[in-house]
Amino acid sequence: MNKNLIELYAEHKGKVSDKWSLYLEIYDRIFKDMREDALALLEIGIQNGGSLEIWARFFPLANSIIGCDINPKCLNLKYTEQSIELIVGDANEAATYQAILSISNTFDIVIDDGSHRSSDIIKSFCLYFPSINPGGLYIAEDLHCSYWAPFEGGLRDGLSSIEFFKRLVDILNFEHWTTREQRADSLQSFFDKYGCTITEEDLSSIHSIEFINSMCIIRKKSMQHNALGKRIVVGSDASIVSEVVALNNLPYKLDLNLIEKQSFFKRLMKYFR
């Protein structure tokens, strides 16, 4: 029987790994169905490098487990596991990015445990989320730092990393917006501040967002799996609201022109009361 992640951490004797206990519980849950996959994992920020050894045991069939760290001392880290690759450099710099993608140009899991500064977290998401495979996961760790000024944040700081991820919740619900804005428009202040961008297509592939204490987990799926879809009405007794039966199998569609007309008439009617 495969040991869970908590058990693997408890018995680990190799290079040091530093994770909060809550993270281990969450990772064991969200990675459980991926354990036997020939996946590609990227972890940004590896410190002493022990997490890579543990990921290699947790994902024994992984094709690539890539660790990236800016600390040049990481060049001294050596691994016996064939799946582990190490890149030393700033993950958001072009040369480092190209070095990572030369090993694997797509990923099933990306974990950002890097500098914890809002600028780096946001830039890394914009840079690496497009490389996530459909069904894959992007995880930002230690978002509690976004509430602290030394990490370019603060409580309700409008340009912190936690506020960026909160904004993605609106993007997840884009089809219900009653404005002419595009998804990326709502992130423009972050793009201007941190010098990064991400396309409409990539934003449309956000399938779900889960917030846990100090973590944000974003799952990616192709756009057709992210729409509200068709209305499903079942049953035969509609004695209270019979009109609902006619809605069965109708796709959701926002009529923006109608909403704008209704809004106009509502504003107009207040002058005739």
- Which residues are part of the catalytic machinery? 116
The phi and psi torsions of 124 (rounded to 5 degrees) equal: -65, -40
Asked if residue 51 lies in contact with residue 112, where contact means CB atoms within 8 angstroms, the answer is no
Region of 18 on the Ramachandran plot (φ > 0 left; ψ -120 to 50 alpha; else beta): beta
Amino acid, single-letter form, for residue 165: F
Could you tell me the two tokens for 239?
A: 């004695």
3-state secondary structure of 177: coil
Which is nearest to 42 in space by CA: 170, 150, 133?
133
Pairing of strands 206-212, 215-220: antiparallel
Q: Whole-angstrom Cα distance, residue 67 to residue 52?
A: 7
End-to-end Cα separation, the chain, in angstroms: 73
Which is nearest to 42 in space by CA: 123, 114, 93, 94?
114
HSE-CB at 171 with a 13 A cutoff on CA atoms is 28
